[in-house]
Chain A
Amino acid sequence: MKSLIIIILLLPTFCFSQVEQHIEAFSESYALEAVGNFAKGIQEIENLYDENSYEMNLRLGWLYYNLGNYFESKNKYQKAVDLMPYSIEAKLGYVLPVSAMGNWNDVMRTYENILEIDPQNTLVNYRMGAIYYERKEYEKAFSYCEKTVNLYPFDYDSVVLLGWINYQMGNLREAKVLFQKSMLIKPNNQSAEYGLDLIK
């Protein structure tokens, strides 16, 4: 009974000191990341690693990614996704190592998963548009990119990409209007100038 009381009394102290340790480790890892010492930064977190900690997995995913260890980075981000299945930031982190390994099918599956949670996510819609544009699947690229332009009509990247998608689909009038609009956002941008030259 006596020992139980002692444990109960000491528990908050222990927990408090554990939180303190975590904060210190994270703080150290930020400092080490700032000077490019990712390996040491990883070590700081790994020393206290708890596989059920979303924050630790997310942080390690980022640090491993910067170290170039895409495999371990992917594993850590995957654990973060498993712990918080609706976390969009974890999924956006996950695509970093996966795309660095060239596993674009996995990237697209993850983006589609994000869009199921957040269909209006402009970053993901834009990236899906860009991927399909590269794959020369212009109809699909259009459906994604159109969304981002409707939500952010003054976003240069989306407007100029939609211009190119329309150009590739043969919608020259729409492409011309979009290239001209992109010139309003970013005057003298070479991409739009080149597109307008092609349409002339």
Chain B
Amino acid sequence: MYRLVYFLLLISAPVFSQSKKDFVTYNKVTFDLYENEAWDQLIITGMEALNNNYDFFYLRSRLGIAYYRKSNFAKSINHFEKALLFNDSDPVILEYLFFAYIFSNRYQEASRLYYKHFQLFKVKDLSVKPKVFDKLYIQGGIKFSDHNTELGTQVDNISYGYIGASINIRGRFNIFQYVGILSQGFTDKYIYQGYLYNYHYYFRQFEYYVHGKLLLGKGWFISPAYHLIRVDVISDKYNDHYYGLSINKNFNKIRLGINISKAYILDTDVTQIVPEISYYPLGNTKLYFTLINTNNKSGNNDLKNQFSGKMGIKVFNKTWLEGLYAYGKVQFPSYDNGYVLYNNPDYLISRGGLFFYHYFNNHSQITLGYVLENKEQITTEDQYTHHLVIAGLNIKF
């Protein structure tokens, strides 16, 4: 008898818990939960309604706001975008989506939304507004070398500086350009008539980089890039070129990308194919991971792989720390669609670094960083290390 009662209790529990709710219930309950700011419960009930095929503007709006208030911007974007399929001109949801893009570092999509609904946005007092002259970036750095050779060419310190700016064309297209100068020291050590001579000289470089980012829609981007390095040595002048194309797609918590590039450095053809994946486990930029696989083919060398990992974490209200590590012996590698281009023929064996980003306000941010690079000299196979220290200032207009 007890068994029967127990069995009846067991089967009745799921029957009660799965009692079918109709549209009226879902609509009312989600509205009440929204009014009471019960975000967790609203997400559970709202998702249940969606699973029962009740999909409408107010439900998506409530779910989007619930995720937004929990700082899960990736999921809030998904629901806000779906809400706008039901009503593409709702000013409240447009503003929420705009800031969800901003807080996800998806500025170009925010900007596109702003210009697309300019009549609605222009009357709003937004703390961030897209501008044509979008961003100014200044960066300088010194690479300290520990290379010490008794004879031959010794690689010395490198110093560089550049200034860049980006222009935003109605959110659809963004062009970033920088010009920079770099100076790389070398010391030739040789013995002549029994005496050791040190001959110190510099490679001076002028650099120009341009990178376009075209928003195709639905989270798709296509980004062509070009990097010119004009090298000026005592007896020679020559140019290095980089041509790259990246395709990226934003999903909820994942960003996928592939970069294909061709570079001509020191008369060497360099081909790279670089797939990468970024993951935002919290649906925001408080924590993120990126994995990159650099497939590098330089001249007649075999195809080489370099695996990189990056992790960023928000440590204070306006401060992020980002660590990176890359391992794999490559020659003339490029990173971030040619933004960083190594044109020294020495092999890069590994690089690891730590960056510190601090936002003073919505318009200014500083970057401080340290990167350690292990390299191998191409002629002597000597291994040496570069310690790069960088400082940058980013001004957003």
Interface-side segment among B51-59, B138-146, B168-176, B218-226: B51-59
The answer, yes or no, to whether A174 is at the interface (CB within 8 Å) is no
The answer, yes or no, to whether B149 is at the interface (CB within 8 Å) is no
State in angstroms the CA–CA spacing of A103 and B58 once bound together.
8
Given A69-B22, A71-B54, A135-B120, A102 and B27 contact (CB-CB distance below 8 Å) = no
**Closest chain A CB from B225 CB (angstroms):** 37
In order of increasing CB-CB distance, the 5 nearest A-B pairs are A102-B57, A101-B56, A71-B23, A136-B119, A104-B87
Given A135-B89, A137-B119, A103 and B57 contact (CB-CB distance below 8 Å) = yes
- In the complex, what residues of A have CB within 8 A of residue B83's CB? 102
Number of A interface residues, CB 8 Å? 16
Instruction: State whether B23 touches A103 (Cβ < 8 A).
Output: no
- Among A69, A106, A134, A135, point to the contact of B23 (Cβ < 8 A): A69
The answer, yes or no, to whether A70 is at the interface (CB within 8 Å) is yes
Instruction: State whether B56 touches A105 (Cβ < 8 A).
Output: no
Contact residue range for chain B? 20 to 34
Instruction: State whether A71 touches B56 (Cβ < 8 A).
Output: yes
Instruction: State whether B56 touches A70 (Cβ < 8 A).
Output: yes
> Beyond the given A101-B56, A102-B87, could you list 13 further A-B residue pairs with CB under 8 A, ordered by the A residue number?
A67-B24, A68-B27, A68-B28, A69-B22, A70-B56, A71-B54, A101-B58, A104-B87, A105-B87, A135-B89, A135-B120, A136-B123, A137-B119
State in angstroms the CA–CA spacing of A68 and B31 once bound together.
13
State in angstroms the CA–CA spacing of A72 and B54 once bound together.
10
State in angstroms the CA–CA spacing of A60 and B85 once bound together.
27
Instruction: State whether B23 touches A105 (Cβ < 8 A).
Output: no
State in angstroms the CA–CA spacing of A68 and B23 once bound together.
8
Contact mask for chain A residues 47-71; partner B; CB cutoff 8 A; 1 contact, 0 none: 0000000000000000000011111
State in angstroms the CA–CA spacing of A70 and B49 once bound together.
14
The answer, yes or no, to whether B201 is at the interface (CB within 8 Å) is no
The answer, yes or no, to whether B133 is at the interface (CB within 8 Å) is no
Contact mask for chain A residues 124-158; partner B; CB cutoff 8 A; 1 contact, 0 none: 00000000001111000000000000000000000
Given A135-B89, A136-B119, A103 and B27 contact (CB-CB distance below 8 Å) = no
Chain B binding surface, main DSSP class:
helix
The answer, yes or no, to whether B61 is at the interface (CB within 8 Å) is yes
Contact mask for chain A residues 70-105; partner B; CB cutoff 8 A; 1 contact, 0 none: 111000000000000000000000000000011111
State in angstroms the CA–CA spacing of A67 and B24 once bound together.
8
**Closest chain B CB from A91 CB (angstroms):** 18
Residue of A nearest to B28 (CB): A68
Instruction: State whether B87 touches A69 (Cβ < 8 A).
Output: no
- In the complex, what residues of B have CB within 8 A of residue A103's CB? 56-57, 86-87
- Among A69, A72, A104, A134, point to the contact of B86 (Cβ < 8 A): A104
**Closest chain B CB from A129 CB (angstroms):** 15
